[in-house]
């Protein structure tokens, strides 16, 4: 069992569509859904390939009303790691040193359309499982 409900009109987070496939699938449903309007895609670190992200934004510009971009911005102030924290049974932690103290690290995840820090304000079990199950919608090598 997956332990959570898929929110509103969104593509199943366990699948691995490209951003274009995900947004093409979702774009017609907001008018029927009372649960929200945001579309979003999951990305790896694209600092070396911003054109891939810009291609999605350009494509979505006149097709999507509200587009969120989820890219890793977690930061551990204990060891200096910057990137994406690892999901564990108790929450999220720095993949380099295991730090999960909200006083010495910052973890940002999108929850129901909003950005939040699950280390400072833990989420319910099902939401944590859903976020931990998310797949990237693009590879860092995409051109």
- Dihedral of CA 35/65/61/47: which sign? negative
pLDDT of residue 140: 61
Q: Contact at 8 Å (CB) between 50 and 78?
A: no
pLDDT at 2 over 60: yes
pLDDT band at 60 (very low <50, low <70, confident <90, very high): very high
Among residues 44, 7, 48, the alpha carbon closest in space to that of 137 is found at 44
The pair of structure tokens assigned to 18 is 């490209």
pLDDT of residue 141: 58
Q: Contact at 8 Å (CB) between 27 and 59?
A: no
Please list the residues that pair with 40 across neighbouring strands.
68
DSSP letter for each residue of 106-125: E--EEETTEEE-TTTSPPPH
Angle at 136 between CA 143 and CA 9, to 5 degrees: 115
> Mind listing the pLDDT tens digit for each residue in 72-102?
999 999 999 999 999 998 899 999 999 999 9
Q: Contact at 8 Å (CB) between 111 and 125?
A: no
């Amino acid at each position: 069992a997956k332990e959570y409900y898929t929110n509103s009109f969104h593509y199943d987070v366990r699948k691995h569509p490209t951003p274009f496939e995900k947004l093409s699938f979702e774009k017609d449903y907001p008018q029927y859904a009372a649960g929200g309007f945001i579309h979003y895609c999951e990305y790896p670190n694209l600092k070396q390939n911003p054109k891939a992200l810009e291609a999605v934004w350009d494509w979505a510009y006149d097709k999507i009303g509200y587009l969120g971009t989820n890219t890793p911005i977690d930061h551990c102030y204990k060891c200096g790691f910057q990137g994406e924290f690892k999901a564990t049974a108790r929450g999220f932690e720095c993949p380099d040193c295991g730090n999960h103290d909200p006083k010495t690290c910052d973890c940002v995840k999108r929850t129901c359309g909003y950005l939040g820090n699950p280390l400072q304000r833990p989420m319910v079990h099902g939401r944590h499982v859903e976020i931990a199950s998310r797949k990237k919608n693009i590879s860092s090598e995409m051109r």
